[in-house]
Amino acid sequence: MKNTLCGFSLLPSKNLAERMLNDPQKENLYPLDSRRRIRELGIRIGTLEPGPYNAITDVEGVRVGHTTIIKGEDRGAVRTGVTVILPHCGNIYEQNLFASYFNLNGWGEMTGMAAVEETGKLKTPIFLTGTYNVGIVYSAVINYLSKINPNIGNAAQTVNPVVAECFDDFLSDTQSRQISEKDVLMAIEKAKSGTVVEGAVGGGTGMTSFGFKGGIGTSSRKVSDKYIVGVLVMANTGSRDQLRIDGVPIGKEIRGFKYKYGKTRSIILVAATDAPLLPYQLKKISKRMAIGLAQTGAISHTGSGDILLTFSTANKIPLNKPASFQNIKAINDFWITPLYQAAVEATHEAVINALTAARTTVGRDNNTAFGIPLDQVKKIMKKYLRIGEKNYE
Amino acid sequence: MKNTLCGFSLLPSKNLAERMLNDPQKENLYPLDSRRRIRELGIRIGTLEPGPYNAITDVEGVRVGHTTIIKGEDRGAVRTGVTVILPHCGNIYEQNLFASYFNLNGWGEMTGMAAVEETGKLKTPIFLTGTYNVGIVYSAVINYLSKINPNIGNAAQTVNPVVAECFDDFLSDTQSRQISEKDVLMAIEKAKSGTVVEGAVGGGTGMTSFGFKGGIGTSSRKVSDKYIVGVLVMANTGSRDQLRIDGVPIGKEIRGFKYKYGKTRSIILVAATDAPLLPYQLKKISKRMAIGLAQTGAISHTGSGDILLTFSTANKIPLNKPASFQNIKAINDFWITPLYQAAVEATHEAVINALTAARTTVGRDNNTAFGIPLDQVKKIMKKYLRIGEKNYE
Amino acid sequence: MKNTLCGFSLLPSKNLAERMLNDPQKENLYPLDSRRRIRELGIRIGTLEPGPYNAITDVEGVRVGHTTIIKGEDRGAVRTGVTVILPHCGNIYEQNLFASYFNLNGWGEMTGMAAVEETGKLKTPIFLTGTYNVGIVYSAVINYLSKINPNIGNAAQTVNPVVAECFDDFLSDTQSRQISEKDVLMAIEKAKSGTVVEGAVGGGTGMTSFGFKGGIGTSSRKVSDKYIVGVLVMANTGSRDQLRIDGVPIGKEIRGFKYKYGKTRSIILVAATDAPLLPYQLKKISKRMAIGLAQTGAISHTGSGDILLTFSTANKIPLNKPASFQNIKAINDFWITPLYQAAVEATHEAVINALTAARTTVGRDNNTAFGIPLDQVKKIMKKYLRIGEKNYE
Amino acid sequence: MKNTLCGFSLLPSKNLAERMLNDPQKENLYPLDSRRRIRELGIRIGTLEPGPYNAITDVEGVRVGHTTIIKGEDRGAVRTGVTVILPHCGNIYEQNLFASYFNLNGWGEMTGMAAVEETGKLKTPIFLTGTYNVGIVYSAVINYLSKINPNIGNAAQTVNPVVAECFDDFLSDTQSRQISEKDVLMAIEKAKSGTVVEGAVGGGTGMTSFGFKGGIGTSSRKVSDKYIVGVLVMANTGSRDQLRIDGVPIGKEIRGFKYKYGKTRSIILVAATDAPLLPYQLKKISKRMAIGLAQTGAISHTGSGDILLTFSTANKIPLNKPASFQNIKAINDFWITPLYQAAVEATHEAVINALTAARTTVGRDNNTAFGIPLDQVKKIMKKYLRIGEKNYE
């Protein structure tokens, strides 16, 4: 679980990763310094320990990069971006990873899924963005992969990029689509291991979730000091009254900070693990992210595109030759339950982190999504015996 | 939602339905009269109202019957049985209902699923039983259906019964398999609308769940006074420390009543609704039962056969002719979310009812599964502000 | 089956539709006038009768448009394009159609499939193009749909375009991707009912199949003078020795016209029908296209993206309100087999038409894909008793 | 591919395996000695070479056993039985094999499929029988497996037997169900490697296919002298006019031997291979059996239960410990196409062998299913240039 292979690795942040971000925003009702990860509020979800960064990047080789696009105000305001997950340090097109997805509610898009299911493998980085950016990102990825893999095509095979979306139209003027190929490349270039910036960044810039500002969240869990499961979400789903943190009905208890928002919509969930899992086992992990999501109160309402993808870094499968492989590793099914628990807990926490890390954001037509008020969260969690008095463990 | 079509209909029980049951059991650490449904303890799960019986039978025409088999003690003790759900008052083989299932974790058996998926329809009653009884029940159902439908075969079509199982070996000597065709027919004959007996009855007689005695549980929810969703489960899954009721970590707080038990295993969930849904929509409802199950803390551990089936009584499709149908009804996808919520809530409550209704049961080799201690449940729920002080709604 | 709603309707061509096409090509070893549909050679596949155009456009309201892009020679030669299928005469985003797909071998891309599966419906036109054009087409479609449906977004729902691809790199310089949004719009504008131009046109411009020039092919079958099933394919799959026409081993018998070609790759198949079918039934039709494809000798080799999509025009489901629908029509499952046969036959013939209609094409690096030699086809079919002597019917 | 591990191994039969069978039948319009495998008629399907027995048993360790039940005449005549495939020489419950299935048309039953999909593995022998025998066989298998694996249950896991069916009611009085647990055990005991008896034996005793007597058929193909793919089918599907052999419209050409028969129904197809394939790859092989089936003219009509299961003997996965495996082997996806071809060819030939090997059988109510007339088959194949003049290879 050391995380040194892929370039410079930041020390674990003591505070919120977003503090390191310099993108200015118009208004900061909840300014940068006040945002926290849920664990920084003294709230622990589940019983397993997180990895050093409590992030998907705790899985060795996994890197995350964001391009955050904040332009204009009023009618033409753009609050969008792209987040990329690089699954390992090498060339993912040449060294594939086993992967499998699950559509909890497939009312959305994650391109490349037919190929993931067919080949049992991930062959491209994973991109998260706004709905209307999918085509542009898709083209950029094809360009990028063709450049670094001149043999694409010669090798009698092509590539189907993985690009997933949520709809960020409440805050962003989706029609303008001011994202470019350069933005996509920049996200790739900036991808790094270590701390992951969360909240209103990258693909999550314009997302809202559970009636508050949402976006990118991440978390991880260690299993028997041997394996790690990391989850990263782009959260744009759930209504306020549904929100639960560790079972506490936070959404119903919070006062104020209401705003008129269109129905929130979708959530993309990506899990990475260094545990050696075969595709049929990775599908099970994907399903457990659905269980973790359910624990946050989301019921996957109609119109929500809740697509869940998991990959394992343990077996690197070369794209071509040899004709057969001899040393594939896999967990025995009867030992897999702790990985399920890890996926459930990390998902639960990643979804909550997307909320607690996201600042209040003003976007298109002055639409405003408030960051969830952390003081209230803390108070309510205390009232429901989840801080200080958690005596059941 | 009137429930008068299918024979005698009991008034809603003010107390636990099981009180009406006369099957004696060897020991009643928690005797019959002390068992309750969770709602009888003053605990409400979710925000929608249940139907008059708070049971799957609130869907008009749905009937439930149990045969409970309690024989012998010590080594050869049998604690098993069969529960049947009759989907409507008529001949289900001749008047089919749309149906669809979802395998949350398919480590188990529900026969007939290939045909449900292929035809989008349910053509037989649904049977829940112990793992080793599946073959016997399957044969009995074929016999039964052939007798009441002499044309099976002539009509150039056969039937694939729906028989689902959990493994009741902790309490029952599964090898002896003392169930007979007669037991299956008796369950059908006894099936009735109205109150459903819960807990250690029928297929649930030998089941354990979340480290306590489990079995049959049911609940329902009304949607806009127009539709109803009812859920019935055979609960044999989950470990004690996972158990949550309305988000409260009950399993971690309860003291005592521990016993050595093999890993619990599986859960079968069946939903019925009178809302007009097409097969692809019923699959969504099945997935929402998974969300409701997740809210009880279950993570669908390895080895658990978590199979979820939903049918709608709104469209009755005649088996043969005419060549096409003109008046199929269906909900608009954009109005379906309340039905999701109903399925989530009813599932959550049905799983908990299976626990609170089930008495302590002594079975094979004097293995004992304790009924969850209701006094503790009540106390813990109060401590976590779920009784009396639930001020958030 | 009248085809008069959507603008000007050509009379059925007595000869090859492509004759009406004026795109010049560099070399015509098999010049335009010599190309034929397989039926024009006196060869009948199957026993059902085709519709008036023997095309997917025989399903009332279905229109097909092509943009064919032929630019440059040698290294930078572009032979690509886009083909669009407009599923009905109205606004498909507002009036959805039931649809379902099947991945025979999902090594390719058809975007929008998660949403088709989730909603059971098609909400966008269907686009067929080269692999590297997918992103551009996707963006163009989003633009187009947003313009004609200003409420997208307001309606709290977005849209996931259906864009499918095969890899046309043998003839086209895929890196240059000289397709633009305008090309996509032009295909939509030119879409019409009636005769469908086949072969090296639209998305099929650069495709090869069974070791010959491939591309777009179509065919249709009538069922009991009541319903019609039409199929359109973009054929880029199969090796020469596999090719069968009506069971005759054409590929092994043909002499000459060999060329060095990369492994061909994929095939996209789209079926339309006016028979009222629900999504679960449309999946069955999609599977039957796989059977028709199998009859042409294709075994769906590794790397082939064989994705099959079927929609029905019989039920038009309004995107929003009302809350429920009362008059959905559906075929009784027991009467569906003739539709299966229609889908099998039309698929078989459509794949062959893609070959017999496609001219020899010279593309990138002077790579040449020969049109299948029709004289030899005719001779071999005669030798194997399929012309003139077909005495078995 | 040596076949010596599992007991006595017969030399390859020069003629029809069934000649070794001593079950007398009432009438032999086509007596035993006149039946042949299609290859014995001089007809080769495909281009790959079969294994030594041209049977599923060419995969080392795979054994096949039949119990054929022929009792009574007229109304109560029973023509049924059970066929078992033992997947390897050891204890399949303790040493599992990777497996995956595909439902071409799931209108039938193959129990145990949820568990196969969930675990990616086969843990029981595979049983083929008549529809109404499924329950009895299921119970017998549970009994059998419990006896030879006393730890079932202790190991906190149970077993879901694989029992598949077709409907043999045209020839057999299905209501009487004169099959017993002993019949099932006998099939297991008699299972052997080497020659497989085909036609009207075991589960195939009462089956009809393509308007002729059907039943059990098998075939195999070698791939690069390294791997073998074997297929065994229980054929009860297809109408006479659809039947093709190597593309030749046999069904339309054959004269006479017509009889009134109910619509035939289903086909179960099982493939075994010693090629190391992971579950997601085995699903691909299962799909190729559908392609092979399509080549015989079957279109998988409504009501047909066409279920296809493939397992690989290359990786034996111990049921319990260790926690992870280190040496799983797998084919590179890019080398898998020859295995596809093998599966297609072996399936095609196995289906035809089921016809050519099956004798005319008189059953219930004197219903008679004629064995396909081999003299006509030969003559027609010659007329269509498939014998002697096959000059294209």
Distance CA B30, CA B214 (A): 13
Distance CA B228, CA B318 (A): 23
Distance CA D179, CA D184 (A): 8
Q: How far is B85 from chain C (nearest CA, A)?
A: 24
Q: In what order do the strands lie in the sheet with D63-71?
A: D63-71, D78-86, D126-130, D162-166
Distance CA B293, CA B344 (A): 8
Considering only CB atoms, which chain D residues are within 8 Å of A280?
A: 117-120, 278-280
Identity of the amino acid at A267 = I
pLDDT digits (tens, 9 = 90+) for B320-369: 778 888 899 999 998 999 999 999 999 999 999 999 999 999 999 999 99
Contact A328 D328 (CB under 8 A): yes
Show the tokens assigned to B331: 């909900």
Choose the closest CB to A109 out of C114, C141, C307: C114
Q: What chain C residue is nearest to D339 in terms of C-alpha separation?
A: C301
Question: Residue D2's pLDDT is what?
Answer: 38
Distance CA D207, CA D235 (A): 7
- b/e code C258-290 from CB counts within 10 Å (16+ = b): eeebebbbbbbbbbbbbbbbbbbbbbbbbbbbb
Q: What chain C residue is nearest to B315 in terms of C-alpha separation?
A: C326
DSSP C62-82: -EEEEEEEEE--GGG-EEEEE
pLDDT digits (tens, 9 = 90+) for A93-105: 999 999 999 999 9
Q: What percent of chain B has pLDDT over 90?
A: 78
Contact A287 B340 (CB under 8 A): no
Show the tokens assigned to B6: 């299918």
Q: Rounded mean pLDDT of D246-270?
A: 90
Show the tokens assigned to A42: 């003294």
Known active-site residue C304: yes
Distance CA A5, CA C30 (A): 57
Q: At A377, phi and psi to the nearest 5?
A: -55, -50
C137 inside 8 A of chain A by CB? yes
Q: Rounded mean pLDDT of B78-89?
A: 97
Question: Residue A174's pLDDT is what?
Answer: 82
Known active-site residue B246: no
Choose the closest CB to A291 out of B248, B300, B341: B300
- What is the rounded average pLDDT for all residues in chain B? 89
Distance CA C332, CA B364 (A): 50
Residues 6+ apart with CB under 8 A from D386: D43, D245, D246, D248
- pLDDT over 80 (residue B46): yes
A280 inside 8 A of chain B by CB? no
Q: Rounded mean pLDDT of A282-299?
A: 98
Question: Residue D154's pLDDT is what?
Answer: 60
ipTM over 0.90: yes
Question: Residue B175's pLDDT is what?
Answer: 77
- Write down the H helix ranges in chain C: 113-119, 134-148, 181-190, 250-253, 279-295, 337-356, 374-383
Chain D: touching chains (3 or more CB pairs < 8 Å): A, B, C
Confidence of residue A88 (pLDDT cuts 50, 70, 90): very high
- b/e code C55-68 from CB counts within 10 Å (16+ = b): bbbbbbbbbbbbbb
Q: What chain B residue is nearest to A332 in terms of C-alpha separation?
A: B302
Choose the closest CB to A160 out of C108, C136, C160: C108
Distance CA C165, CA C265 (A): 10
Distance CA B94, CA B319 (A): 5
Q: Which residues pair with A374 in a beta bridge?
A: none
Considering only CB atoms, which chain D residues are within 8 Å of B169?
A: 153, 158
B136 inside 8 A of chain D by CB? yes
- pLDDT over 70 (residue D307): yes
Question: Residue B353's pLDDT is what?
Answer: 98
Contact C320 B328 (CB under 8 A): no
Choose the closest CB to B114 out of D109, D115, D160: D109
Considering only CB atoms, which chain B residues are within 8 Å of D117?
A: 103, 106
Contact D328 A329 (CB under 8 A): yes
Distance CA B272, CA B209 (A): 23
More confident call, B15 vs B136: B136
Which of B216, B199, B190 minimizes the C-alpha distance to B67? B190
Q: What stretch of H or E contains A181?
A: helix A181-190
D157 inside 8 A of chain A by CB? yes
D344 inside 8 A of chain C by CB? yes
B280 inside 8 A of chain C by CB? yes
Mean pLDDT per 10-residue segment, chain C (393 residues): 41 38 41 83 97 98 97 91 97 96 97 97 97 95 88 71 95 86 96 96 97 97 96 96 97 93 84 98 98 98 95 93 87 94 98 97 93 97 84 47
Q: Which of residues 218-277 of C touch B (CB under 8 A)?
A: 276
Confidence of residue A389 (pLDDT cuts 50, 70, 90): low
DSSP A227-260: EEEEEEEEEE---GGG--BTTB-HHHH--S----
Q: Rounded mean pLDDT of B236-243?
A: 95
Show the tokens assigned to B149: 């439908």
- b/e code D245-281 from CB counts within 10 Å (16+ = b): bbbbbbbbbbeebeeebebbbbbbbbbbbbbbbbbbb
Q: What percent of chain D has pLDDT over 90?
A: 78
Contact A142 C135 (CB under 8 A): yes
Q: How far is A380 from chain B (nearest CA, A)?
A: 11
A138 inside 8 A of chain C by CB? yes
Sole residue written with tokens 């390191």: A20
Burial of D19: CB neighbours in 10 Å, binned 0-12, 13-18, 19+: middle
How many alpha carbons fall within 13 Å on the CB side of residue D149?
23
How many alpha carbons fall within 13 Å on the CB side of residue C162?
30
Known active-site residue C219: no
Q: Rounded mean pLDDT of D59-82?
A: 94
Chain C: touching chains (3 or more CB pairs < 8 Å): A, B, D
A134 inside 8 A of chain C by CB? yes
Distance CA D20, CA C274 (A): 54
Contact yes or no for B257/B240 (Cβ under 8 A): no
pLDDT digits (tens, 9 = 90+) for A206-252: 999 999 999 999 999 999 999 999 999 999 999 999 999 999 999 99
pLDDT digits (tens, 9 = 90+) for B299-326: 999 999 999 999 999 999 998 778 888 8
Question: Residue A18's pLDDT is what?
Answer: 40
Question: Residue C22's pLDDT is what?
Answer: 39
Confidence of residue D13 (pLDDT cuts 50, 70, 90): very low
Contact D110 B110 (CB under 8 A): no
Q: How far is C46 from chain D (nearest CA, A)?
A: 10
Choose the closest CB to D330 out of A319, A321, A324: A324
Catalytic residue chosen out of the listed positions B9, B266, B286, B312: B266
Contact D246 C247 (CB under 8 A): yes
Question: Residue D33's pLDDT is what?
Answer: 65
C345 inside 8 A of chain D by CB? no
Q: Which residues pair with C135 in a beta bridge?
A: none
Contact B110 D114 (CB under 8 A): yes
Contact C322 B333 (CB under 8 A): no
- pLDDT over 70 (residue A32): no
D156 inside 8 A of chain B by CB? yes
Considering only CB atoms, which chain D residues are within 8 Å of A281?
A: 120
Considering only CB atoms, which chain C residues are within 8 Å of B279?
A: 278-280
- pLDDT over 60 (residue D226): yes
The dihedral region occupied by C46, where left means phi > 0, alpha psi between -120 and 50, and beta the remainder, is left
More confident call, C17 vs B6: B6
- pLDDT over 80 (residue D217): yes
The total of other beta-carbon atoms located within 10 Å of residue A256's CB is 7
DSSP D124-151: S-EEEEEGGGHHHHHHHHHHHHHHH-TT
pLDDT digits (tens, 9 = 90+) for D339-377: 999 999 999 999 999 999 999 999 999 999 999 999 999
Strand locations in A28-119 (E): 63-71, 78-86, 95-106
Distance CA D313, CA D326 (A): 17
Q: Rounded mean pLDDT of A363-375?
A: 94
Q: What one-character DSSP code corresponds to residue A176?
A: T
Q: How far is A104 from chain B (nearest CA, A)?
A: 7
Q: Which of residues 285-304 of B touch D (CB under 8 A)?
A: 303
Distance CA C120, CA C279 (A): 5
**Cα C75 → chain centroid:** 28
DSSP-derived pairing of the beta strands B368-369 and B162-166:
unpaired
Considering only CB atoms, which chain D residues are within 8 Å of A123?
A: none
Cis peptide before B322 (omega within 30 of 0): yes
- pLDDT over 60 (residue D10): no
Choose the closest CB to D385 out of C284, C301, C384: C384
Catalytic residue chosen out of the listed positions C100, C219, C266, C312: C266
pLDDT digits (tens, 9 = 90+) for D284-299: 999 999 999 999 999 9
Catalytic residue chosen out of the listed positions A266, A286, A300, A312: A266
SS3 label, residue D63: strand
The total of other beta-carbon atoms located within 10 Å of residue C232's CB is 31
DSSP C287-306: HHHHHHHHHTT----TT-EE
Q: What chain C residue is nearest to D302 in terms of C-alpha separation?
A: C337
The total of other beta-carbon atoms located within 10 Å of residue D204's CB is 38
B7 inside 8 A of chain D by CB? no
Considering only CB atoms, which chain D residues are within 8 Å of B117?
A: 103, 106
Contact yes or no for A342/B301 (Cβ under 8 A): no
Choose the closest CB to D324 out of A280, A319, A332: A332
Confidence of residue D11 (pLDDT cuts 50, 70, 90): very low
- pLDDT over 70 (residue A22): no
Contact A278 D278 (CB under 8 A): yes
Q: What percent of chain A has pLDDT over 90?
A: 78
Distance CA A351, CA A373 (A): 16
Contact B300 A290 (CB under 8 A): no
Contact B253 A392 (CB under 8 A): yes
Q: What chain B residue is nearest to A248 in terms of C-alpha separation?
A: B247
B338 inside 8 A of chain C by CB? no
DSSP-derived pairing of the beta strands B126-130 and B162-166:
parallel
Coarse DSSP helix, strand, coil percentages of chain D, rounded to the nearest 5 percent: 30, 25, 45
Q: Which of A154-168, C229-243, D106-120 is least confident?
A: A154-168
What does pTM read for this prediction? Answer: 0.94
Question: Residue C307's pLDDT is what?
Answer: 98
Show the tokens assigned to A37: 């990860």
